[in-house]
Amino acid sequence: MSSSYSGWLVALSLAVAVLASYTALDLSGRIYLLTHRGMRHAWLAVGAAAMGIGIWSMHFIGMLALSLAPFGAPLGSHANLALGYDPVITAASLGIAVVISWAALWLVARERFTKRRLVTAGVTLGLGIAAMHYTGMAAMKMYPSIEYDPARFAASILIAMAAATAALWIARTLRDGSLRYVMAKRIGAAGVMGLAITAMHYTGMSAANFMPGAICGAAGGVSSPWLVTTVSLFTFLMLVTTLLVSRLDARTSFLANSVLQLNSQIARMATYDALTDLPNRRALHDSAARMLVNSRRDERRFAVLFMDLDGFKTINDSLGHNVGDDVLRAFAKRLRKNVNGDDVVARLGGDEFVVLLGSLSSPAVAGRVAQRLLDDMRDGLRVGNQSLHVMPSIGIAVFPDDGDTIDMLLKHADTAMYEAKRAGRGIFRYFEPRMNAAAQRTWEIQQALHDAEHEQYFSLHFQPKYRGDTEALAGAEALLRLSHPTFGELQPADFIPVAERTGQIVPIGYWVVRATCRQIKEWDAAGLPPVKVAINLSPRQMAQSQLVENIVEIVREAGIAADRLMFEITETVAMFDAQHTIDVIQAFHEQGFEVAIDDFGTGYSSLAYLQRFRVKQLKMDRFFTSGLDTCGREGSAVVSAIIALAHSLDMDVVAEGVETPSQREALKTLDCDELQGFLLGKPVTGDAFARILSALPGASGAAAMA
């Protein structure tokens, strides 16, 4: 039998194939973006029906384009073989198309889709398409049966599998609606897929051999003209409607998702720290509340680690807020690295961080985590092209031992953290009940400092310094004292660390400079011999960008000469940021002030930087002075080396803590320039020091009589 095809039906089959392909691509992207499970299932069903009918329609329209006539009879004549289709088999082929379409959409919409899964799915779907095609051919019920050319039959199946694999890959690639030019890309891809599907169909049709004298057993079934019209109209209507509804729903969903994303962003902004991307205080409380409920139910412990960064304020003030922000981000990453994924890491604000450790087998686990973090931090934080050594002080509170509420656990962990600071910084401490008394004491001292200047609780004492060779008065050191009506006389070791930690030391330091200047003016007005007074500078003060300018203004307003003051910087502070220290020392020198390095030998001085500091004095720590009595020859050798080093750099040496005659005599023998200690003179009030000055040669008569 001879065969021919209707050109317009062939074109119609291609159009349906392209439209069905575009619908499939659009629906695959639509279903993938859906988050509601019920909506995904609903659209899978709708999409499978639309896509299956589209592909099935393309194949049947392609078969309806076929005309058969006996050999020798002209095609298109009344001799053409009457064709029809068995309704049951036709419906079965449609069912196959819908099922394989559902499988295709389900696979494309899945999150994980490997290359292996892609090939497997493509082969399966290709076989399904081929099954649909050849089931549709069987619906004609030809007698004798249709024979198929093996090569072309195999080619049609291979084309179906290749087309299915390509279709899945393209759908997977284009499922993201955010891709640029996605509409144009889907149209182009739909054209390629439509041509592939059409090629598979007509390759399969070309493999069919209709035997001479064959008749269609289903000629009395569904007629071809009716089927062409019905299938064409229904398919186009179904596909277009599906597309319109999909686009409308996609638009609505896009707007809804945009609102949800915006709300999610707002919610995240409210619960996460913008700088470190860690949970903030609000989110921490929510997580802690859940952990508290779970721990009570399971009767398990959890720990709160409260920490802040020692020296962070100095970094922020001296190196800038940008560097400070980088330090906080780097520390946040270091924290995450040292805890488990189930633990909670949060930033409360500033340089304060909290870690919640859940399901502890024992309180010792929290200590091991804290120590691991401290050990890791000893390597420093890499910020830009520099390594900064910043250590946290950590306080630990354990549920239920140290509290049964979140607020209580946070308070006790905070208390333990301050105890760690008092104990030396860069360590961890577990909360103990006795710490509450210490914390209360710290708070009371902080309040006392707040009121001290206004209520005139502060005063200055002056400790004399004497020449090592002649024991003549060489100067004095101004020492701050605090006398409170409730607490009495507070030692500097009690209130200076509190002032440093809270930042109160900065205004207190300027008060010391003003008070020293006033005292010098009083001594001068009394006709007393001039004396140089040394003033200590704290780490917080050194970090102030306008330190020298502010001091110059105070001294200028007081009307005293700059050479009457010397400023002492501890060795540890000097070496924290050596270049900044060099700049500050140079600025002091340019204004006429002298500078000394205090507590020398207790830090980690670099001889290269010590040479660059070019200070007037090295104040040797009292540890070395006491070693003259306790360490014998070794102690003397160390002190001798320090003095020789200083003299080689044109620096004078001041020995602190001279308390025994043997120490004094040893230091004089070793050519120590100045001596300071209780043996020679204790700190005294300004009036008492005036009496010391009045006894000196050169004091006016009135001053000497006083």
Full strand arrangement of the beta sheet holding 344-349: 344-349, 352-360, 301-310, 391-399, 428-430
256: confidence class by pLDDT, cuts 50, 70, 90: very low
Instruction: Kindly state the tokens that stand for 490.
Output: 């507070």
Does the structure show a pLDDT above 70 at 38?
no
Q: What is the model's pLDDT at position 529?
A: 93
pLDDT at residue 70, rounded to an integer? 62
pLDDT of residue 196: 72
279 or 217, higher pLDDT: 279
pLDDT-derived band at 34 (thresholds 50, 70, 90) equals low
Q: What is the pLDDT of residue 177?
A: 47
Please spell the DSSP secondary structure of 464-499, one letter per residue. EEEETTT--EEEEEEEEEEEETTTEEEPHHHHHHHH
Listed residue (493, 30, 555) closest to 257, CA to CA:
30
Which pLDDT does position 75 carry in this prediction?
45
569-596 pLDDT, tens digit per residue, is 987 777 767 788 889 999 999 999 999 9
Q: pLDDT tens across 243-254, in order? A: 555 555 555 455
Does residue 201 surpass a pLDDT of 90?
Answer: no
CA 273 to chain centre: 9
CA angle centred on 391, ends 410 and 580, rounded to 5°: 130
pLDDT > 80? residue 13: no
The position carrying tokens 């409308």 is 248
pTM score, whole prediction: 0.51
**197 in Cβ contact with 21 (< 8 Å):** yes
| Distance set, CA 17 to CA 154, 198, 241, 593 (Å) | 21, 7, 16, 91
pLDDT in tens, 626-680: 999 888 888 899 999 999 989 998 999 999 999 999 999 999 999 999 999 999 9
Closest CA to 376 of 395, 362, 390: 390
Task: Give the pLDDT confidence of 370-405 residue by residue, as tens digits.
Answer: 999 998 888 778 777 777 778 899 999 999 989 888
Peptide bond into 144 cis (omega under 30): yes
**What pLDDT does 322 receive?**
86
The pLDDT confidence band at residue 194, using thresholds 50, 70 and 90, is: confident
Percent of the chain with pLDDT over 70: 77
DSSP 279-324: B-HHHHHHHHHHHHHHHHHHT-EEEEEEEEEETHHHHHHHH-HHHH
pLDDT at 267 over 80: no
Residue 179 has pLDDT above 60, yes or no: no
Helix (H, G, I), strand (E, B) or coil at 531: coil
Q: Is the pLDDT of residue 46 over 90?
A: no
Residue among 31, 41, 49, 50 nearest 250 (CA): 31
Do you find a cis peptide bond into 279, omega within 30 degrees of 0? no
Average pLDDT over residues 142-153: 83
One-character DSSP codes across 251-289: HHHHHHHHHHHHHHHHHHHHHB-TTT--B-HHHHHHHHH
Q: Which of the residue ranges 73-77, 266-270, 641-645 has the most confident prediction, judged by mean pLDDT?
A: 641-645
pLDDT of residue 426 exceeding 80, the answer is yes
CA gap 621, 623 in Å, rounded: 5
- Is 31 or 389 the better-scoring residue by pLDDT? 389
Q: How far apart are CA 203 and CA 129, in angstroms?
A: 13
- Judged by average pLDDT, the poorest of 37-41, 141-145, 299-303, 519-523 is 37-41
Amino acid letter at 55? Answer: I
Which residue type, as a one-letter code, is found at position 402?
A: D
Question: Could you tell me if 243 and 236 are in contact, meaning their C-beta atoms sit under 8 angstroms apart?
Answer: no
The reported pLDDT for the residue numbered 381 is 81
Select from 624, 684, 703 the least CA-distant residue to 477: 684
pLDDT at 686: 94
* Alpha carbon of residue 514 to chain centroid: 44
Q: Is the pLDDT of residue 78 over 60?
A: no
Given a cut of 90, whether residue 323 has pLDDT beyond it is no
Residues 6+ apart with CB under 8 A from 500: 538, 539, 540
Q: What is the mean pLDDT of residues 601-628?
A: 79
Nearest to 663 by CA among 617, 620, 614: 620
Residues with Cβ within 8 Å of 180's Cβ and at least 6 positions away in sequence, in order, are none
- The answer, yes or no, to whether residue 204 has pLDDT greater than 80, is no
DSSP at 564 = G
The residue with greater pLDDT, 510 or 298, is 510
Strands (E), 203-266: 208-209, 215-216, 222-223
pLDDT of residue 468: 92
- pLDDT for residue 701 is more than 50: no
Residue 314 and residue 238: Cα distance in Å, rounded?
71
Q: Residue 299's pLDDT is what?
A: 85
The residue-averaged pLDDT of 263-291 equals 79
CA–CA separation, 532 vs 476, rounded Å?
Answer: 6
Matching residue, tokens 């493509």: 122
Q: Alpha carbon 673 to chain centroid distance?
A: 53
Which of the residue ranges 36-40, 295-299, 316-320 would you say has the lowest mean pLDDT?
Answer: 36-40
473-484 and 458-467 strand pairing: antiparallel
Number of CB atoms found within 10 A of residue 492's CB: 13
Mean pLDDT, the chain, rounded, equals 80
**What confidence tens digit (pLDDT) does each residue in 325-364 have?**
888 998 999 888 888 878 899 998 888 999 999 878 888 9
d(CA 701, CA 706): 9
User: In Å, what is the CA distance from 228 to each residue of 69, 200, 387, 675?
Assistant: 19, 20, 78, 115
Answer yes or no: is pLDDT of 271 > 90: no
Query: Of residues 259 and 538, which shows the higher confidence score?
Result: 538
Residue, of 436 and 225, whose pLDDT is higher:
436
One-letter amino acid of 469: D
Spatial neighbors of 75 by CB under 8 A, at least 6 apart, are 2, 4, 67, 69
Sign of the CA dihedral 282, 283, 284, 290? positive
Instruction: State the CB neighbour count (10 A cutoff) for residue 391.
Output: 18
The end-to-end CA distance of the chain, in Å, is 142
The token duo for 706 is: 């006083």
What's the rounded Cα separation, in Å, for the pair 131 and 121?
15
